[in-house]
């Protein structure tokens, strides 16, 4: 990994002149602070982030699949939500006098195949 403290990118300028010696154009190339591996990692990160759902952060191909739509009679799975308590968060809320809610509840979503009873999954 390249050290950035005091690092100055290399700059190369190419000049193009016409037949009379007048400057027609100039192009400046600036060395990237990232090497090929780092650029590859950043491209992969960008692709991964683009595939995330803006609502839940999950994989768009899975969470937005019509097969998961609860109203789709031909769907193959469903998501079920419930609230679970974060006991550490609840303890912190109990000592805060201005907190109107004493319990810290967070949503928990599970995925199950259609036709699988919820009671089997809650062991």
Q: CA 100, CA 105: separation in Å to the nearest integer?
A: 13
Neighbours of 56 (CB within 10 A): 14
Q: Residues 44, 45, 49, 52: is their CA dihedral positive or negative?
A: positive
* pTM for the model: 0.52
- Looking up tokens 């899975």 gives 62
Show me where the domains of the chain are located: 1-50, 62-123
User: Average pLDDT for residues 113-119, to the nearest whole number?
Assistant: 73
Write the pLDDT tens digit of every residue in 12-33: 999 999 999 999 999 999 988 8
Top-confidence residue, 118 or 75: 75
d(Cα 90, Cα 97) in Å, to the nearest integer? Answer: 13
pLDDT tens for 62-111 read: 999 999 998 998 999 999 999 999 999 999 888 988 878 888 899 999 99
User: In this predicted structure, what is the pLDDT of residue 120?
Assistant: 53
**Which H or E run contains 44?**
helix 36-50
If one compares 116 and 1, the residue with the highest pLDDT of the two is 116
């Amino acid at each position: 990994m390249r050290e950035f403290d005091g690092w100055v990118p290399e700059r190369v300028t190419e000049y193009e002149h016409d037949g009379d010696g007048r400057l027609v154009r100039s192009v400046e190339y600036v060395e990237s602070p990232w090497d090929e591996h780092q650029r590859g990692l950043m491209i992969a990160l960008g692709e991964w982030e683009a595939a995330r759902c803006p609502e839940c952060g999950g994989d768009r191909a899975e969470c937005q699949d019509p097969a998961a739509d609860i109203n789709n009679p031909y769907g193959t799975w469903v998501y079920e939500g419930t609230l679970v308590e974060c006991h550490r968060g609840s303890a912190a809320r109990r000592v805060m006098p201005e907190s109107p809610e004493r319990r810290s509840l967070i949503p928990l979503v599970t995925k199950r195949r259609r036709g699988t009873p919820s009671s089997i999954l809650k062991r």
